[in-house]
Chain A
Amino acid sequence: MKSLNILMLYPEIMNIYGDMGNLDFLSFYAEQSGINVNKVFYNLGDDFSVFMKDQNSKPDIILGGGGQDSSQCAVEEDLQNIKVHLQELATDNVPMLMICGLYQLFGTRFVTSEKKIIKGIGLLDVETIAGDTRIIGNQIITNPNPNISTKPIYGFENHSGKTHILDPATKPLGNIKFAEGGNNGSDSEEGAMKNNVIGSYLHGPIIPKNPDIAEFLIQTAIQNKYNEKTEFNINADLLDTIKSAREIAETLNR
């Protein structure tokens, strides 16, 4: 039986908007298709090198969520300590999905509303500067990068940071429906991706209503690990529920 290690970064302090739901649903989705999932957690002060020991312990997918400004300050130093491992995994094409707070910290830096600079790890060429007002509301990425999703991506965003892409090697995930939101409220773009590292402000959590993202992460991980394509085998009842949830999401106001 194929098996994937899915690692969640800092679940204790970076999981403010139901981000753990991404891990739960992704695991459920993989298990439905006959893939065994080993959920792994990395918290502040843990030893990341134990995951890097051998092929069996290496994370195959990495997820991360959002946190308050204070939590982001708290993980800053720790994240720098494990940067080398995350870089190595990114170079090995390990798919990663970072939402909100960790999206910001996977960029080069985050300047908070108190003008404090939190250093990021630069796996995405983006920088974030806190704005005066929070960007809050439902959001739709109408034309996402087709490698990630062939259909619109639905979610909810809530952030003060305004994020800009600094280098064309990093691409946005796509254009948005509600232009007052997205990365910065001005360029109508949302999210960022470089190789298989994805960042986005959209929670919801994002995976359950956007199964294309789940399939991208699983497919990429299985390809990396087993050099095989993945046959997804999701039961019709669940697919129906996802479809209904997406139809509602399409109608939601900002």
Chain B
Amino acid sequence: MQILAEFIGKTVVFFCKLFHFGGSAFPGLVVEKICPTYLQRVLSDLPYGVLVVTGTNGKTTTSKIVTELLQDYGLRVFTNKTGSNFSRGVISEYLSSGTKSFDIAVLELDEAHGIKLVEKVAPNYLLLLNVFRDQLDRFGEINYTAKLLEKFAKITTENGGVVVINSNDPLITEFSDLHFGFSDNMQSFFPDDSSLHSDSKTNSNSNSKTQNIFQLQNYKNSIATFEYQSNSYNAKLQLLGAHNALNSAAALSIVSKILDSKFDAQKSIKTLEMIKPAFGRGEKITINDSEIYLNLVKNPAGFNSSLKTIASKNSKVIYIINDDYADGRDVSWLWDVDYSNILNVEAVSGKRAYDLALKLKSQNIQINNIDESIQNIVDQIVSNKQPDNYQIFCTYTALLKTRALLSKHTDVEHIL
């Protein structure tokens, strides 16, 4: 059954690629229907086992960093790099990878749906990044999300696995003794939800109690400073923003645990400097002479830190908001984002363009164009012959759509 499922799955992948069909999870869905235990079978005999990366923000970027750091030591890594984080998405990736042999699987998993996979295949390593208010239409309450992550940690620990957790996130930090984090002086770089509205727990800094494996000490002009085993390391990052510097600390911490005595901090810092942004996470696309940056936004915490560290006065800023299930049906979180450092917006688009436009107008932010059609916005960008810098902030399905439309005009990395 496994072989039949795999054959059919690969055939579906082939046709999806042939017709540029963007639904990345479809082949996996087919295989899962035919052979429900397919993924467990594939993952059960990897030499280094399975690393699961989860949390609200930073999963895709952190998984990419971990993957490239491990590859640098010669490990063959299987990863679900599209950011599709449901089990069917993972299977689709595996099918399109050519199903060759691997040393380790690095899986970024959705907080809610990932638990189903983890219940079947206990991870050997777990990296818990953070918990923010996100997609409450699915989760209901943030405390519920934290409980889900506790379950991830419990399953991993009970099966003898290693769990590394953000020491600066009070909702999850106590699920393990192994941590990554930032030093006290970095607090202002990491506004949490409580600065917008606070949840029951305050953002107490638990660094004094725990030792971080890698600790982010400073971030300035895209240079991050980390402390590891009492030594200090500087890295000039291509992944912009303090939040990505913290993702880097998370990745370095778990990689040092996976590789153990083989881990060489200096070598991995050098590799880190070479790593480029993941799919739609500050990813750069060039058309004519314009640079177009795609930034996925999912929740106030992520949107705020992107706006804070990425957009400059010279950028043409575009917001594209959809409300499909993968975007979050409820768009009320848009009202908890601080847009005030971008006073002139090039365009607002997507199904819920007008919802965001109301927020922006009530803040006296100038909007040059409101158009629900993403196609129209992309046409406008493509027909612009001036060399411009576009920063596009979009929800998940809006990102897929925008990227697909842009790819008709230039080469972008092929993602299923």
Residues of A that sit less than 8 Å from B by CB:
11-18, 20-21, 24-25, 28, 68-71, 74, 134, 136-138, 156, 158, 160, 203-205, 208-209, 237-238, 241-242, 244-245, 248, 252
Contacts and interface: CB of A to CB of B under 8 A. Distances in A.
B388 interface: no
20 contacts: A11-B197, A12-B197, A13-B199, A13-B200, A17-B330, A20-B197, A69-B141, A71-B200, A74-B200, A136-B137, A136-B330, A158-B137, A160-B140, A204-B355, A208-B355, A208-B362, A209-B355, A237-B361, A238-B361, A242-B358
B335 interface: yes
Given A17-B136, A158-B330, A24 B362 contact: yes
Contacts of B355: 204, 208-209, 245, 248
B140 A134 contact: yes
Nearest to B197: A15
Interface of B: 133, 136-137, 140-143, 194, 196-200, 323, 329-336, 351-352, 354-355, 357-359, 361-363, 370, 372
B136 A248 contact: no
A202 to B, nearest CB: 10
A156 B362 contact: no
A156 B194 CA distance: 23
Nearest to A43: B198
A156 B330 contact: yes
A241 B143 contact: no
A70 B198 CA distance: 12
A156 B358 CA distance: 16
A121 B243 CA distance: 43
B329 A68 contact: no
B333 A18 contact: yes
A18 B332 contact: yes
Contacts of A158: 136-137, 140, 330
Contacts of B363: 24
Contacts of A21: 332, 335-336, 359
B134 to A, nearest CB: 12
A248 B137 contact: no
B136 A70 contact: no
A25 B362 contact: yes
Contact of B136 (A16, A20, A24, A74): A16
